[in-house]
Structure 1
Amino acid sequence: MIGEIDIVRHPVNACVPLRHKVVLSVWAKGRGKLHYQWFNYVLKDGKKEVCEVPGATQPNLTIRVTETQNYSCRVNDIYSNCRFTKWSHVLALDIDKSGLPPEWRGEPHIAVHPKPQTLRPGAKLTLRCTAFGVPQPKYQWYRNGTPLRQCTGEMLQVMQAGVQDAGTYLCAVTSVLGESWSDPADVDIQLTRPSIEVTPAAAFTATDKVALLIGNLNYAHHPGLTAPVMDVHELGLLLQQLGFKVLSLLDLTAEQMSAAVHNFTQLLDTGVYGLFYYAGHGFERAGRNYLVPVDAPQPYHTSTCVCVQRVMGKMQEKRTALSVILLDACRKWSKEGGTPSVIQPLRPTGNTVYGYATSEDAEAFEVQDLGKSTGIFTKYLNKHLLLPEKVTHVLERVSEDVDKDLLVKGKQAVEIRHSLKEARSLTDPVHSAGHTRELRLREVSWRHANELPQKKCLKYPCGAEVEVGFSALFSNVLVVFASIKRSQPHVVDCTVALSSAPAMEDIFSGHGRSEDFDSLLFGQFIEPGCTIWLCGLQTLEEPLFIRVDLHYSVHESESVRRCTQSQKLNVGKPLVASCGLRNKTVSPKHHNAQAYNANVSQERNQGPSTVQGFSRKAEGLPHVTVGRNTPEEHDEEDTLNFIHLK
């Protein structure tokens, strides 16, 4: 029987220079002595035929590669059982191999690096990265440090390049023997002459773009919110289109927020564009803005919240080319009826932009319209974000739209402050010339925080096969999904159930989930019943295990027996779990945001549907005076100069 022989290791694919020596190997197990015969393709009468390789009757086959060829090995025993290995594709490249080390052992070695290019919009973009390797290496292309989906070959092609394709490209070449990175290739998209009203897009460039997005919604001691989920998700997708390395996080405690800000600012450097965005509860005190973590006690206190001005101060210390802070949170003063706060000047380093969703002592609102939850400010921010305009001009467009919105007219007005000395735009291209070392360090750090587990195929004793895949909704939310790829005639009614150890919270389930949650969660998965969402990965202290239970029925003579087989999959510490943000969290209460927030109910002009707005104001602010003679705890370093702010 064929099953008596087991091929433990098949010969690998290889990519080598012409006339290079390659050893192909097969490892098989069976009863008694095994016999081997290697085969390859031979051209006969203009057609390729499978023929025996003369004298190739050992487990190892040594060849001197003179052309691209395929090889397979037949393994048979004395009982007339036989098995064939998978075909091994040996690719012979007639290209320069001068840089190949004399003692090369097959690790990835890049022979052809991608070249910089300057193109007109609509032209074809072609980048090539070719590497030797035994086994044949895999490719992954990156633009501005962000991996490009489905760009996993040695050739990257864009049939009609646009401004969104400009940036710095790198290719990672990997195998089980190691990893190698290509030289960076800058791609310029040369625009035609702009109109008089548009600033030339090529006037300014960034050495890199980095963004930290935080959305807090499930509060332990305060009313919950709904919109931050979609706000952070949609904004993150738009920023990725602009070439930003995006770290998006939901439901962070005070310690986790501070750690995330620290890690974020470590990735900033001279010439980098840095963007910080927050959606959640907030308040203002003594001219400073505070962001409320999910574990903040009642009442709020500055010592248990995150000071925005301190975040900007840390960004400024890195001398970024552009620092942007966008806050979709309330700014109610800590004492009702207090005098307006006095804004102290910020260090005049320039190129600093604040975009506040609302003005001083005012609330910021989120709305739900036909199941769609969004913050009013972020709704219009996402509308204009991709415009190739100066950052402040984009925010002015946002301000105008918010002012026209009947839901919040007279209740919420965007406030913009900046010390922007140059007409920099979020759409400015990335050029890393002279900064390649720093760029690669950021890429390694960013890739580490966004690394997904590899897809796995699990084989069960009953003969069924289940494929387990992974995706990331946010940097601290892992999506695990499973599907049955193969079954057997005697195995019917198969279903798969997933669970994790340790158990991770699912913040998307439960009462009050809006329709846009469902769209976000189920839009990319066919079988939601075979999917789990593991949230709060920053709290992981040990490797994460996924349990995959296969339930199936077996038909017996007079009955049907229900069976279960299980396997565990170790996925390590995926995404942000390995970045040191964890601390012990409190379990948030399950809030329905619609139950307790100020209602702003009005009818839209275009239809009868009712839209309700919910405040993101801070609850339980202590009644203390705004002015003070001595600094509060944790506020000593918050005195920053706001000179030249508009």
Structure 2
Amino acid sequence: MQKAVAITEQPVSVSVPVGYSFTLRCRAQGRTSLQYQWFCLPPRLWQGEPVIVLNPSEQWVEVGQPLQLQCAAIGVPAPSYQWYRNGNLLEQQKRKKLWITHTKVSDSGTYLCCASNSHGEHWTNAVDVHIGTCGSGRFFATDKIALLVGNNCYQHHPNLMAPVRDVFELSRLLEHLGFQVVSLLDLNKAEMATAVSRFLQLLGKGVYAIFYYAGHGYEHLGRNYMVPVDAPQPYAPENCISVQRILQKMQQQQTALNIILLDTCRKWYEPLPPSSPGLDVPRAGGRSEDAEAYELQDGEFSSGIFMKYLKKHILQEKKVTHMLEDVLEDIGRDPLVAGKQVMEIKHTLKEARSLTDPICPSRAATEHWGYSQKLPSKTMTFPCGVRVELHFLRLFSNLMFVCAKPQLPLAHITDPQLLLRQLTPEITKESM
């Protein structure tokens, strides 16, 4: 009887200098169409010990649905398999394929498989399995983290008006979507670097991350820079914050979705370099070709043009790139922008991820990012007998408003006036 597959041409050993290319060839015959898979074994002499050729992949599964993980190894003799969850041996899982017919929440964890024979053992990569009730959608985040920076009051450049309102409005919208948000105003270079560093530390596998900047910016040699409030004239890279550097570090965190929104007009025009392969980064921003940076608002106290249309679409349940394309179309139709600013989107997002995707934590809760403490209120009694209620309101993460309300005045006091000059050390300590 003819074999199902017969090798008709074997590869031949070759020796080439380092850096040179080579070609290996094999051919086979079979009853049906064939598929080929090459394997590269370790350079030392192989003794038959297991070599992993297929690692399991991360899985998200609804409660009650089946779970399948698969691994494969080659070895002589043929390896045996043993699966582990969170370091604990699974007695009934001793095959290449791990199969659980009806999953439970307790089946969540980190899985890996050991392939062994008489010559040794090798382990697959560890993968996370998430079992939850995150709805029937295919995608979800393990967490949602956002950093918003708006620079308005510059020491050496024209002041802006829109960033303060834009940051405030975007922070409220992102909180509605489940993001932990830190919103900061008027940062110098050191403060911007510290905020970005803290933001990057909290990113991790499966996280949806958003970085938003509104303020002055410029482009130099294909790189985009954000301008801190203390940057001197003229613009120079050493006095500013590189967007590409933030992008690169976000990429290293294994996040599920990275979004950088640059709501800024860049002073010099050069095409943006393409995003790194596999990195899901929509980037949006305004620019004016061969023109000075300027600010466009639809009214003196309104949002900037970009935010005007972003807040119209951001809560919609659709792929994030499609949402941004809707924003782009609306901006293109706005008469205030036509011929003056052009929004651009750069992305490599292939999956249909949306900002409305649910959150299913895969590990212990991360350190809180955002408002971690409730602000106090305080009633003060002055020597004259007047009582004043003090209330504290945090509209931004680094800016606190103090409201003072006098209680009913005493009979012997007429025309009372309240002037809030400076917080006392006692109140300042309590409000931290």
Retained in 2: the 8 A contact 1:359–1:415?
Answer: no
Match of 2:337 in 1: 408
Distance, in Å, in 2 between the alignment partners of 1:229 and 1:401 is 22
TM-aligned CA deviation for residue 342 of structure 1: 6.9
Cα distance change on mapping 1:474 and 1:292 into 2, 3 Å: same
Task: Give 1:3-82 correspondences, 5 Å limit.
Answer: none
Retained in 1: the 8 A contact 2:370–2:397?
Answer: no
Task: Give 1:97-496 correspondences, 5 Å limit.
Answer: 202-333=137-268, 340-341=270-271, 343=273, 345-358=274-287, 366-432=295-361, 434-435=362-363, 437=364, 439=365, 441-443=366-368, 445-448=369-372, 451-496=373-418
Retained in 2: the 8 A contact 1:452–1:471?
Answer: no
Among all aligned residue pairs of Structure 1 and Structure 2, give the percentage whose two residues are the same amino acid. Answer: 49
Larger deviation, residues 372-381 vs 213-222? 372-381
What secondary structure, in the 3-state scheme, does the structure 1 residue paired with 2:420 have?
A: strand
Distance, in Å, in 1 between the alignment partners of 2:348 and 2:171 is 25
Cα distance change on mapping 1:447 and 1:483 into 2, 3 Å: same
Retained in 1: the 8 A contact 2:223–2:272?
Answer: no
Distance, in Å, in 1 between the alignment partners of 2:238 and 2:297 is 32
Task: Give 1:529-548 correspondences, 5 Å limit.
Answer: 546-547=423-424
Distance, in Å, in 2 between the alignment partners of 1:384 and 1:401 is 10
Cα distance change on mapping 1:363 and 1:452 into 2, 3 Å: farther
Distance, in Å, in 1 between the alignment partners of 2:376 and 2:272 is 53
Distance, in Å, in 1 between the alignment partners of 2:153 and 2:321 is 32
Distance, in Å, in 2 between the alignment partners of 1:360 and 1:311 is 24
TM-aligned CA deviation for residue 313 of structure 1: 1.1
Distance, in Å, in 2 between the alignment partners of 1:415 and 1:342 is 10
Retained in 2: the 8 A contact 1:286–1:342?
Answer: no
Distance, in Å, in 2 between the alignment partners of 1:342 and 1:203 is 32
Cα distance change on mapping 1:442 and 1:421 into 2, 3 Å: farther
Distance, in Å, in 1 between the alignment partners of 2:337 and 2:312 is 17
What secondary structure, in the 3-state scheme, does the structure 2 residue paired with 1:480 have?
A: strand
Cα distance change on mapping 1:426 and 1:346 into 2, 3 Å: same
Retained in 2: the 8 A contact 1:350–1:421?
Answer: no
Distance, in Å, in 1 between the alignment partners of 2:213 and 2:294 is 14
Distance, in Å, in 2 between the alignment partners of 1:309 and 1:478 is 32
TM-aligned CA deviation for residue 261 of structure 1: 0.5
Distance, in Å, in 2 between the alignment partners of 1:415 and 1:396 is 9
Cα distance change on mapping 1:222 and 1:363 into 2, 3 Å: closer
Distance, in Å, in 2 between the alignment partners of 1:256 and 1:208 is 25
TM-aligned CA deviation for residue 353 of structure 1: 1.9
Q: CA RMSD in A?
A: 2.5
TM-score by length of 1: 0.44
Cα distance change on mapping 1:360 and 1:419 into 2, 3 Å: farther
Retained in 2: the 8 A contact 1:275–1:324?
Answer: yes
TM-aligned CA deviation for residue 317 of structure 1: 1.5
Which amino acid is 1:375 matched to? G
TM-aligned CA deviation for residue 460 of structure 1: 3.0
TM-aligned CA deviation for residue 372 of structure 1: 2.8
Q: Which runs of 5+ in 1 are unaligned?
A: 1-117, 119-185, 191-199, 335-339, 501-545, 548-567, 576-646
Deviations along 1:541-580, whole A, 9 cap, x unmatched? xxxxx15xxxxxxxxxxxxxxxxxxxx64322857xxxxx
Deviations along 1:231-269, whole A, 9 cap, x unmatched? 111111111111111111111111111111001111111
Task: Give 1:513-552 correspondences, 5 Å limit.
Answer: 546-547=423-424
Task: Give 1:573-584 correspondences, 5 Å limit.
Answer: none
Cα distance change on mapping 1:253 and 1:460 into 2, 3 Å: same
Distance, in Å, in 1 between the alignment partners of 2:294 and 2:156 is 20
TM-aligned CA deviation for residue 462 of structure 1: 3.2
What secondary structure, in the 3-state scheme, does the structure 2 residue paired with 1:325 have?
A: strand
What secondary structure, in the 3-state scheme, does the structure 2 residue paired with 1:491 have?
A: coil
TM-aligned CA deviation for residue 208 of structure 1: 1.1
Deviations along 1:308-362, whole A, 9 cap, x unmatched? 011111111111111100011122327xxxxx5572x543243222122237656
Match of 1:100 in 2: none
What secondary structure, in the 3-state scheme, does the structure 1 residue paired with 2:174 have?
A: helix
Which amino acid is 1:408 matched to? V
Distance, in Å, in 2 between the alignment partners of 1:347 and 1:367 is 31
Counterpart of 1:571 (choices 406, 425, 428) is 428
Distance, in Å, in 1 between the alignment partners of 2:223 and 2:357 is 30
Retained in 1: the 8 A contact 2:139–2:357?
Answer: yes
Deviations along 1:367-421, whole A, 9 cap, x unmatched? 3444333322221111111111111001101110111111221221211111112
Match of 2:71 in 1: none
Which amino acid is 1:295 matched to? D
Retained in 2: the 8 A contact 1:403–1:413?
Answer: yes
